Structure 1
Amino acid sequence: MTTRSVKPLHGAALLALSALLFSLMGVGVRVVSVSVNNESVVFFRNLVGVLFFMPLLLIKGVRPLKTTRLKSHLWRTTYGLAAMYCFFYAIAHLPLADAMLFTYSAPLFTPLIAWWWLKEPLTKRMLVTTCIGLVGVLLVAKPSAALLDSQALIGMAASVLAAFAFVSIREMSDTEPAFRIVFYFSLFSALISVIPLAWAWQPIQQHDVLLLVAIGLLATASQIIMSKAYGLAPPGLIGPFAYLAIVFAGVIAWLRWGETPDLTSLLGAALIFSASLLSITRRMRG
């Protein structure tokens, strides 16, 4: 078995950057979903992801994209695409804080899935820090009564499916570089997500096209960075850093719509940072 290198600081920093880009993407999805349906948003997000790699193909050909792990890429696509549909639906139909909460609670499940799937160690410290981070997310997001709605189940499904996608990235990161993982995810997802457009296609305005392109670029860049992050450290170790997306979303909402964080939000942010730092320092001492 190939020995994976573990670089928690680098992995955590990259995952934090990925969380920032994902939060920006989420805001874009929320805006464009007012006039564009979920099927079209998912398709264009993946189409832009494929086009993102065209310069690489033109310069270096298909050689860098050759793989012997096609089955692993298909599994990663299955989990990730299903999570994407659920996530975009939640953003369009639930309060933004609730949707972000569901999606970025995925790190709550990643240590358990990584322990079951990859046989990676699961310590009490990991479970405690993850729970602390989740409490912080609840304090920042202050979920509304929409959590009790049946639509919330779709948001929860996005969280669990995203956790499986994260661990699947870790599983093949010993041989697959980040750009290859993201390319196959975008390619397979675009091919699959074009099917629903047969009955869900709608005309799209020019300004919406520009926003969809921006969403796709943000998503693809964040996917590459996230894939690299989970290749540098186990999901159970750096997963809490994905919670930072909630903090970033709160800051963006403050800057964009004048929503000011209260004492509860600040306390939640402190818990999120504390859980993230505890998970890193624990591994560094070990």
Structure 2
Amino acid sequence: MITTRQQRILPGAMLLALSALLFSLMGVGIRELSTTVNNESVVFFRNLVGVLFFLPLVFWRGVAPLKTTRLRSHLWRAFFGLAAMYCFFYAIAHLPLADAMLFTYSAPVFTPFIAYFWLKEPLTKKIAAAAAIGFCGVLLVAKPSDAIFEAIALVGLAASILAAFAFVSIREMSDSEPAFRIVFYFALFSTLLSAIPMLWAWQPLNAQQLSLLALVGVLATTSQIIMSKAYSLAPPGVIGPFAYLAIVFSALIAWWQWHEVPSLSSCIGAVLIFISSLAALWANRQPSNNKG
């Protein structure tokens, strides 16, 4: 007999896979834009589209759901998330697409340590060991012995660490701030902050570039909303690994579009990062299993 929980797992997994595909397509759009549009413009328009996307929801639901007493926490989340976005988009423009995606999805490697020092969350030996495995995978993707990729790989590494700080900042205020409010203030503050570099980095844009920038913003926002829906249907510990399909989709698209073939070290690194994620999920579920 199929339980209600099992009936929700399959739709949740499929939605998360769809979110991963849209995120990969966003990466393709950023790569295409990077040849003619500077990084500052890509980041600004991605966030601007996010704000425009949420405006109808704000008008429909009113401003009451947006009232908050934790603006400082929202600003910290925007700061870390925006800095990660600048680094991530730069990595997409200069690294193989699959490698850039790997850096993004390696953020959970650093999250337990940041949460330990910031939120005083417990750091067990099993979680630390899982993170260590993931870090070895990150090093293989970064190729520290390769002088050509060393500096750019550091940008990708910075993107993953900053994203980890952003994740922990969300966790820090999740006790009082719903997801809708967190996403809205991130889009709003990120748009305002990313508008500052446009004072000196503005460039004329044609209709094709504007259309692609709008598409990137829509893909990113839609992917985020679908991901939230997926996790509302099924627990992250069950369907979370499906998010890593973004790496597979990115590798296949990059191979088809630009003939990029991931290196052996990147493939091994991807496997280690994936194993690290599964090990961390298993370690987090151990206490509940022991109680049964």
With normalisation by structure 1, the TM-score equals 0.79
- Alignment match, 1:172: 173
- Alignment match, 1:30: 31
- Alignment match, 2:192: 191
Contact 2:134 2:277 (8 Å CA) reproduced: yes
SS at match of 1:120: coil
User: Compared with structure 1, are the counterparts of its residues 38 and 236 closer, same or farther at alpha carbon in structure 2 (3 Å cutoff)?
Assistant: farther
- Alignment match, 2:221: 220
- Alignment match, 2:105: 104
SS at match of 1:109: helix
**Which letter does structure 1 place at the counterpart of 2:154?**
L
With normalisation by structure 2, the TM-score equals 0.78
1:158 aligns with 2:163: no
**Mapping of residues 76-155 of structure 1, within 5 Å:** 76-136=77-137, 145=146, 148-155=149-156
Find the aligned partners of 1:175 and 1:232 in 2 and give their Cα distance: 21
Find the aligned partners of 1:244 and 1:137 in 2 and give their Cα distance: 17
**Could you list the per-position Cα deviations for residues 102-149 of structure 1 after superposition, in whole angstroms to 9, with x for gaps in the alignment?**
333222211100111122221222122233344456667878935654
Contact 2:144 2:150 (8 Å CA) reproduced: no
Shift of 1:84: 1.2
Shift of 1:255: 4.5
Shift of 1:56: 0.7
Shift of 1:259: 5.1
**Which letter does structure 1 place at the counterpart of 2:215?**
A
- Alignment match, 1:52: 53
SS at match of 1:53: helix
SS at match of 1:215: helix
Contact 1:19 1:245 (8 Å CA) reproduced: yes
**Which letter does structure 2 place at the counterpart of 1:108?**
V
Find the aligned partners of 2:234 and 2:111 in 1 and give their Cα distance: 12
Find the aligned partners of 1:95 and 1:50 in 2 and give their Cα distance: 29
Identity %, equivalent residues: 70
CA RMSD of aligned residues (A): 3.8
Q: Which segment is superposed worse, 70-79 or 235-244? A: 235-244
**Could you list the per-position Cα deviations for residues 45-93 of structure 1 after superposition, in whole angstroms to 9, with x for gaps in the alignment?**
0100000111112212212222221111001011111111122222223
Contact 1:76 1:185 (8 Å CA) reproduced: yes
Find the aligned partners of 2:63 and 2:237 in 1 and give their Cα distance: 33
**Which letter does structure 1 place at the counterpart of 2:76?**
W
**Which letter does structure 1 place at the counterpart of 2:163?**
A
User: Compared with structure 1, are the counterparts of its residues 143 and 257 closer, same or farther at alpha carbon in structure 2 (3 Å cutoff)?
Assistant: farther
Shift of 1:157: 2.0
Find the aligned partners of 1:51 and 1:90 in 2 and give their Cα distance: 26
Shift of 1:151: 3.7
Q: Which segment is superposed worse, 241-250 or 83-92? A: 241-250
Count, aligned residues: 279
- Alignment match, 1:6: none
Contact 1:244 1:272 (8 Å CA) reproduced: no
Q: Which segment is superposed worse, 131-140 or 86-95? A: 131-140
Contact 2:25 2:219 (8 Å CA) reproduced: yes
**Which letter does structure 2 place at the counterpart of 1:201?**
W
- Give the gaps of 5 or more residues in structure 2: 1-9, 288-292
Shift of 1:233: 12
